[in-house]
Amino acid sequence: MNSAAISDFRIHLGELFRSALATVAPGVPIAEIILDRPKQAQHGDYACNIALQLAKPLKRKPRDIAAEVIAALPVSPYLAKTEIAGAGFINCFLKAEAHQTIVSRILQESQAFGHSVTGAAQKVVVEFVSANPTGPLHVGHGRQAALGDAISALLETQGYTVMREFYYNDAGVQIRNLALSVQARTRGFKPGDTEWPEGGYQGEYVQEIANDFLAGKSVVASDGAEVTANGNRDDEENIRSFAVAYLRREQDIDLEKFDVKFDIYYLESSLYADGRVESAVKGLIASGKTYEQDGALWLRTTDFGDDKDRVVRKSDQTYTYFVPDVAYHVTKWERGFSTAINVQGTDHHSTITRVRAGLQALEIGIPAGFPDYVLHSMVKVMRGGEEVKISKRAGSYVTLRDLVEWVGRDAVRFFLVSRRADSEFVFDIDLALAKSEENPVYYVQYAHARVCSVVTQWGGDTDALKTVPLTALTEERELSLMKRLAEYPDIVSLAAREFAPHQVAYYLRELAGEFHGYYNSTRFLVAEEPVKLARLALATATRQLLRNGLSLLGVGAPEKM
């Protein structure tokens, strides 16, 4: 059997166990052969709990069943031994040859290693950032951008067709406050003046918008629409349109520098213009799930698990903010997205139940868990041991642009996905600038650069390494590194399934650690040609996975550092 014959050792071992079960437990249905990777190396490469599953239907002790299963396993050129552990787990130890085939597969498959077709033909929309066009992007938006883009990339490795979507809340009170703030600036007023509007935006960017408006400049927004300022201080509508387009362009510039691109820009205002909000309300009324009370229209969201019913239309005939959200998510479903993922701050937690309730009340076939949500905690920025809270341009918060200018795009993107989305995150500027193993992005990128240095010193053609014999790779550090490489497909699959890119970041740190240890203890360019080529192949495979994983997180893989 060669490496091409086995695409996944978990599948191969599963086939061995199914064959054994035909002898040990014929006729007993087993839904799935579960093979997990033990956390400790001494417990093998995979652990199977099949004997524990069979204990009840066979009415026997799991350890006795495990012994019979092991005895019935077919011979495999890749399985070195099995052991019974604990209550009846079967630990499987692979031969060195099995680990060596991983190196060949990585070199052959390159960027495609770890990809699958699990999600083939399924469309997914990932909505993230979706910042109100009322100011610069803050570091929380940056965390959304890093998370959303990485989640999208992970889903693409599993075969899903992914669309990245940005939803602009360009309607409502906050937009009017922006227009009034810019208008006040054009008239020479500033925050603190008695003429300053209540709820106005105070950052210096408002003055920048006012200056460009008075100068009659033009801006082009994300959707290509061009807005030209007429310089008329009394034309609130022109001021509003210009300010929104101006800030959309500014956000575009920040996202471009952050290397985040969107396929779709969706405007909240279009939901009103197209009659979708009104249509959604009519659908809710038609469902019989609404009622009138105190001059307002209410939706019985308690029928769908909410703690209380919610107002749909207020007594002044305006809609509450979750109503356009319902209409918006109807469009996602109608556009053919069987899965929709929203990456939002934890402050949106209360909207989840009511949006889903609204979608269920419409009774148009949308599943109960639609959409999925990834909620992230906000980010605290520290420098010199003190919290950084303000930006001169934004006024009251640190902007994404500030952060990128201080430490660079790679550090920002890696750091912002390096923890669970819902965990509090402290962004340490000093750590992000440190050139040490405590800085995770530097540590991972340095491992990649080290491989590049070795390959450059060698001076050969790395394509030739795809077919070199690997039998010389038998030392403990080599086997440990190859085992780590073999984990990559599982890590990527799990991270995609759980919308959890932090698992990739953690894996890359572990892989880099394995390689740094190997590099520090090993000579690559030795006189023995077979050993040299095998070690170079292992190093090059490691470089490929470091590059693949960093790419999923939107982080570069420098060849020199």
| Residue 78: CATH number of its domain | 3.30.1360.70
Give the C-alpha distances (Å, rounded to integers) separating 159 from 173, 230, 373, 544: 41, 49, 21, 20
Asked if pLDDT for residue 175 goes beyond 90, the answer is yes
511 — alpha (psi -120 to 50), left (phi > 0) or beta?
A: alpha
Judgement on whether residues 443 and 427 belong to the same structural domain of the protein: no
Q: Which of 29, 59, 94 is the last residue of a domain?
A: 94
Helix (H) / strand (E) element for 386: namely strand 386-388
Length of the chain as a residue count? 561
Judgement on whether residues 533 and 441 belong to the same structural domain of the protein: yes
Q: Is residue 245 part of a domain?
A: no
Picking from 25-29, 59-63, 402-406, 413-417, which range would have the lowest pLDDT averaged per residue?
25-29
Taking only Cα atoms into account, the Rg of the chain, rounded to an integer number of angstroms, comes to 29
Judgement on whether residues 69 and 90 belong to the same structural domain of the protein: yes
Split at pLDDT 50, 70, 90, the class of 339 is very high
Q: Is residue 342 part of a domain?
A: no
Judgement on whether residues 417 and 497 belong to the same structural domain of the protein: no
Going by the DSSP 8-state scheme, the letter that residue 4 receives in this structure is G
| Mean predicted confidence (pLDDT) in 521-527 | 97
Q: Is residue 166 part of a domain?
A: no
| Mean predicted confidence (pLDDT) in 100-109 | 96
| Mean predicted confidence (pLDDT) in 141-149 | 97
Structure token digits, residue 12 = 């191969």
Closest CA to 128 of 110, 105, 153, 109: 153
Judgement on whether residues 402 and 415 belong to the same structural domain of the protein: yes
- Give pLDDT, residue 29: 85
Q: Is residue 26 part of a domain?
A: yes
| Mean predicted confidence (pLDDT) in 241-270 | 95
367-414, pLDDT tens digit by residue? 999 999 999 998 999 999 999 987 666 677 899 999 999 999 999 999
Closest CA to 422 of 500, 507, 354, 369: 500
Q: Is residue 69 part of a domain?
A: yes
Judgement on whether residues 384 and 469 belong to the same structural domain of the protein: no
| Mean predicted confidence (pLDDT) in 141-158 | 98
94 — alpha (psi -120 to 50), left (phi > 0) or beta?
A: beta
Judgement on whether residues 392 and 442 belong to the same structural domain of the protein: no
Q: Collapsing DSSP states into helix, strand and coil, what is residue 85?
A: strand
Split at pLDDT 50, 70, 90, the class of 1 is very low
Sheet arrangement for strand 161-168: 264-267, 161-168, 123-127, 339-345, 372-376
Split at pLDDT 50, 70, 90, the class of 269 is very high
Domain carrying residue 463 = 437-552
Q: How many domains does the chain have?
A: 3
% of the chain with per-residue pLDDT over 70: 97
Judgement on whether residues 421 and 495 belong to the same structural domain of the protein: no
Going by the DSSP 8-state scheme, the letter that residue 138 receives in this structure is B
Closest CA to 339 of 362, 366, 357: 366
Distance CA 140, CA 142 (A): 5
Helix (H) / strand (E) element for 156: namely helix 139-157
Asked if pLDDT for residue 2 goes beyond 50, the answer is no
Structure token digits, residue 379 = 């980010």
- Give pLDDT, residue 8: 75
Judgement on whether residues 396 and 442 belong to the same structural domain of the protein: no
Q: Secondary structure of the chain: what % helix, strand, coil (to 5)? A: 50, 15, 35
- Give pLDDT, residue 139: 95
Split at pLDDT 50, 70, 90, the class of 6 is very low
CB 138 within 8 A of CB 250: no
CB 361 within 8 A of CB 147: no
- Give pLDDT, residue 31: 67
Split at pLDDT 50, 70, 90, the class of 7 is very low
Tell which wins on pLDDT, 397 or 286: 286
Judgement on whether residues 546 and 512 belong to the same structural domain of the protein: yes
Q: Is residue 289 part of a domain?
A: no
| Mean predicted confidence (pLDDT) in 63-88 | 95
Evaluate if pTM is beyond 0.85. yes
Closest CA to 113 of 555, 444, 546, 557: 546
Q: Which of 94, 118, 153 is the last residue of a domain?
A: 94
Split at pLDDT 50, 70, 90, the class of 348 is confident
Judgement on whether residues 515 and 415 belong to the same structural domain of the protein: no
Asked if pLDDT for residue 3 goes beyond 60, the answer is no
CB 382 within 8 A of CB 428: yes
Q: Is residue 481 part of a domain?
A: yes
Structure token digits, residue 35 = 């093979």
Distance CA 20, CA 144 (A): 48
188-232, pLDDT tens digit by residue? 999 999 999 999 998 899 999 999 999 999 999 767 779 999 999
| Chain mean pLDDT for the chain | 94
Q: Which CATH number fits the domain that encloses residue 473?
A: 1.10.730.10
Distance CA 50, CA 69 (A): 9
Judgement on whether residues 402 and 492 belong to the same structural domain of the protein: no
Q: Which of 94, 120, 154 is the last residue of a domain?
A: 94
CB 412 within 8 A of CB 519: no
Q: Is residue 271 part of a domain?
A: no
Closest CA to 38 of 71, 82, 70, 103: 82
Going by the DSSP 8-state scheme, the letter that residue 223 receives in this structure is T
- E-strand ranges in 239-338 read 264-267, 290-293, 296-299, 310-313
